[in-house]
Amino acid sequence: MSVNKKLDRTPLYKNHKKIDAKLAPFAGWEMPEMYGNILKEHLHTRSANSIFDICHMGEFIIEGKKAEKDLENLLSCGLASLGSGRCRYGFLLNDEGFFIDDLIIFKYSCTRFMIVVNSSRITNDAEWICSHLSTSTSFTNISDKTAKIDLQGPLSFKTASSVFPDIEFVVMNRFAFIEFEYEGIKLTASTTGYTGELGFEFFMPPESAVTIWELLLEVDSVKPAGLSSRNSLRLEKGLPLYGYDITDKITPIEANLERFVNFNKDFIGKDALIRQIRNKPARILTPFLCAGRSTAREGFTIYKDNKPAGVVTSGVFSPMLNKGIGLAMIDQSISAVGTIIECRKDDTKINAVIIDLPFIR
Amino acid sequence: MLPKELSYTREHEWLKVSDENMVIIGITDYAQEELGDITFVELPEVGQVISGGDSPVTLESVKAVSSVYSPAAGEIIEVNSRLDDEPELINESPYTDGWIFKIRITGAMITPLLSPGEYQEFIDSLD
């Protein structure tokens, strides 16, 4: 395979190089994969707090008097019941109910919203959204003008309060956001993330990213963590990853994510989802726990009674459980908790059991 | 620094050859660095007879799954069973506590053995 396109670099590239981060291509970006030790980065995030360079992700602003109505139609999650200054997890679906993307929507007011999307989906999402907006609704892709740093872990609130002492972070519940200024830098902080821990996502102009990154790193308990530990952190909490666990060939019903779909309103894909619920989906995304340290990874085939019955969509070694964990798209008939399955690839056979989420509390 | 008493292969393994054709095998510091944290080591049975080029050992790391090859035909004499519970020994001390298996070789080496200097040159050429 040859890659001709030059990889994009985040504003924090030089900071990563300085401390010998291992960089790797991800969705067209040269991203920090790790800073020396993935397991330690994972465990440090669970016990203290870490910062992640997430500048590659996409951000859109949607504005106008019909913005809320347009977005209600586009998204699986309800917006009428969402207060200003709150965020919600939801999906963009096509007419067949398949995922275009999963996202977080930020509500500033009924006429102004921000959507945070996966970097690999920015172009598809933008096209889809723009083709479904009223003429009075404006769409702005601010991805290039927005840097994002995630601070994640149980000490996040303490860290944020010490770095920005004038801000009352303690009043924020999960899935809330505030805008504030720090020494002339305009920031947005949301109590969201992709590790299952308490924490923040900080949005800022790219030219201020280095300042904020270095400011956070000055706190003794804060260490940088890369995308590899972010992946094991999200999977331990059962959070799906677009392109792996959820794709444009999978619906939220099959992905067991029905709770993020509001059926009390109309939205694109709703009819397809209702049909699928009625007919019962043939397959379902299901968590499994490996018998030991050996881990069934993406692409392993699931067997039950020597018959193929699914495929692993994500699999990692869980540093908290010291066992392999993963998500698999399997036949509904073998999805009961406690079912023993076998994961196979080439000569490797790994025993596992179907369990319930989350893998860790 | 590469231990002087060991031989190396282009597959990033080290060999400690002692008398009676006994060889202890592990992976190099370069290899463990590339693999990242090792989370599981699948070891062969003692007494297993293998051919040169077989992969009696599978290493799983947080990043990848890889095989350790046998540089010659022979019989597995001993395995480092500490790796069952402490696979991280390979990351922490690849040339000592992180040794993987011991084999009595019965055939010729199927891969050229490199001196520490030659192996160093080889890995320098990879970066």
Q: Is the pLDDT of residue A2 over 90?
A: no
- In this complex, do A294 and B63 lie within 8 Å of one another by their Cβ atoms? no
B68 within a domain of the structure (yes/no): yes
The amino acid at A174: R
CB of A326 closer than 8 Å to CB of B49: no
Q: Is the pLDDT of residue B126 over 60?
A: yes
- In this complex, do A316 and B62 lie within 8 Å of one another by their Cβ atoms? yes
pLDDT over 90 for what percent of chain A? 95
In chain A, which residue's Cα lies nearest the Cα of B43?
A294
Angle at A156 between CA A120 and CA A208, to 5 degrees: 60
Q: What is the pLDDT of residue B127?
A: 72
* Strand ranges in A11-137 using DSSP code E only, listed in sequence order: 22-26, 29-34, 49-53, 58-63, 86-93, 99-109, 112-117
Q: What is the pLDDT of residue A232?
A: 96
Instruction: Round to the nearest angstrom and report the end-to-end CA distance of chain A.
Output: 41
Q: What Rg value do the Cα atoms of chain B yield, rounded?
A: 13
Which one of A293, A298, A316, A345 would you mutate to disrupt binding with B, by most B Cβ within 10 Å of its Cβ?
A293
Sheet holding A112-117, edge to edge: A86-93, A99-109, A112-117, A58-63, A138-141
Sheet holding A185-190, edge to edge: A177-182, A185-190, A199-204, A147-152, A49-53, A222-224
Residue B35: both structure tokens together: 């693999």
- Tens of pLDDT, residue by residue over A158-180, are 999 999 999 999 899 999 999 99
Chain A residue numbers with beta carbons less than 8 Å from the beta carbon of B62 are: 38-39, 228, 232, 316-317
CB of A229 closer than 8 Å to CB of A34: yes
CB count, 10 Å around CB of A136? 11
d(CA A80, CA A266): 12
* Cβ-nearest to A293 among B40, B63, B65: B40
Residue count of chain B: 127
- In this complex, do A38 and B37 lie within 8 Å of one another by their Cβ atoms? yes
d(CA A62, CA A130): 10
B36/chain A closest Cα distance in angstroms = 7
B13 within a domain of the structure (yes/no): yes
Q: Which residue has the tokens 């290899």?
A: B31
Q: Is the pLDDT of residue A261 over 90?
A: yes
Identify the band that residue A258 occupies on the pLDDT scale cut at 50, 70 and 90: very high
Chain B residue numbers with beta carbons less than 8 Å from the beta carbon of A294 are: 40, 42, 60
d(CA A354, CA A341): 7
* Cβ-nearest to B37 among A37, A295, A348: A37
B77 within a domain of the structure (yes/no): yes
Chain A residue numbers with beta carbons less than 8 Å from the beta carbon of B67 are: none
Q: Is the pLDDT of residue A5 over 70?
A: no
- For residue A290, CA distances in Å to A293, A324, A325 come to 7, 5, 6
CB of A57 closer than 8 Å to CB of A119: yes
B51/chain A closest Cα distance in angstroms = 17
Helix axis angle for A156-163 and A209-217, nearest 10°, is 120
Helices (H) and strands (E) in chain B, counts: 3, 9
- Tens of pLDDT, residue by residue over A58-76, are 999 999 999 999 999 999 9
Average pLDDT over residues B96-118: 94
d(CA A157, CA A50): 12
d(CA A87, CA A70): 17
Identify the band that residue A117 occupies on the pLDDT scale cut at 50, 70 and 90: very high
Identify the band that residue B19 occupies on the pLDDT scale cut at 50, 70 and 90: confident
Q: In whole numbers, what is the pLDDT of chain B averaged over residues?
A: 93
Number of A–B residue contacts, CB under 8 Å: 34
Average pLDDT over residues A261-265: 97
Q: What are the structural domains of chain A?
A: 13-55+146-236 (3.30.1360.120), 58-144 (3.30.70.1400), 282-354 (2.40.30.110)
- Tens of pLDDT, residue by residue over A8-66, are 999 999 999 999 999 999 989 999 999 988 999 999 999 999 999 999 999 999 999 99
Q: DSSP characters for A223-234?
A: EE--HHHHHHHH
A44/chain B closest Cα distance in angstroms = 15
B2 within a domain of the structure (yes/no): no
ipTM, interface predicted TM-score of the complex? 0.76
Domain range spanning residue B62? 7-126
B72/chain A closest Cα distance in angstroms = 22
Ranges A91-105, A256-270, A285-299, B54-68: which has the least confidence: B54-68
Residue in A6, A3, A30, A5 with CA at minimum distance from that of residue A16: A30
Residue in A77, A109, A108 with CA at minimum distance from that of residue A259: A77
Contacts of A266 (CB under 8 A, 6+ apart): A72, A73
* Cβ-nearest to A295 among B36, B37, B60: B60
Helix intervals (H) in chain A: 13-18, 38-47, 67-74, 122-130, 156-163, 209-217, 227-236, 270-279
Task: Report the CATH number that the domain containing residue B45 is assigned in CATH.
Answer: 2.40.50.100
d(CA A332, CA A304): 12
B39 within a domain of the structure (yes/no): yes
B1 within a domain of the structure (yes/no): no
B14 within a domain of the structure (yes/no): yes
Which one of B61, B62, B88 would you mutate to disrupt binding with A, by most A Cβ within 10 Å of its Cβ?
B62
- In this complex, do A39 and B87 lie within 8 Å of one another by their Cβ atoms? no
Residue in A288, A335, A294 with CA at minimum distance from that of residue A312: A288
Identify the band that residue A190 occupies on the pLDDT scale cut at 50, 70 and 90: very high
d(CA A280, CA A292): 33
Q: What is the DSSP pairing of strand A185-190 with strand A177-182?
A: antiparallel
Q: Is the pLDDT of residue A361 over 90?
A: no
Q: Is the pLDDT of residue A3 over 60?
A: no
B59 within a domain of the structure (yes/no): yes
Q: What Rg value do the Cα atoms of chain A yield, rounded?
A: 21
Which residues of A make CB contacts under 8 Å with B?
A: 34, 37-39, 228, 232, 292-295, 297, 316-317, 324, 348
Chain B residue numbers with beta carbons less than 8 Å from the beta carbon of A34 are: 36
Q: Is the pLDDT of residue A1 over 80?
A: no
What's the number of CA atoms in the CB half-sphere (13 Å) around residue B109? 13
- In this complex, do B60 and A228 lie within 8 Å of one another by their Cβ atoms? no
CB count, 10 Å around CB of B117? 11
The 8-class DSSP code of residue A312 comes to: E
For residue B30, the surrounding DSSP H or E stretch is helix B29-35
Average pLDDT over residues A236-255: 97
In chain B, which residue's Cα lies nearest the Cα of A227?
B63
- In this complex, do B36 and A292 lie within 8 Å of one another by their Cβ atoms? no
Chain B residue numbers with beta carbons less than 8 Å from the beta carbon of A38 are: 36-37, 62-63
Q: Tell me how many domains chain B contains.
A: 1
In chain A, which residue's Cα lies nearest the Cα of B57?
A348
Q: In whole numbers, what is the pLDDT of chain A averaged over residues?
A: 96
Q: Which residues of A219-245 are buried (b: 16+ CB within 10 A; e: fewer)?
A: bebbbbbbbbbbbbbbbbbbbbbbebb
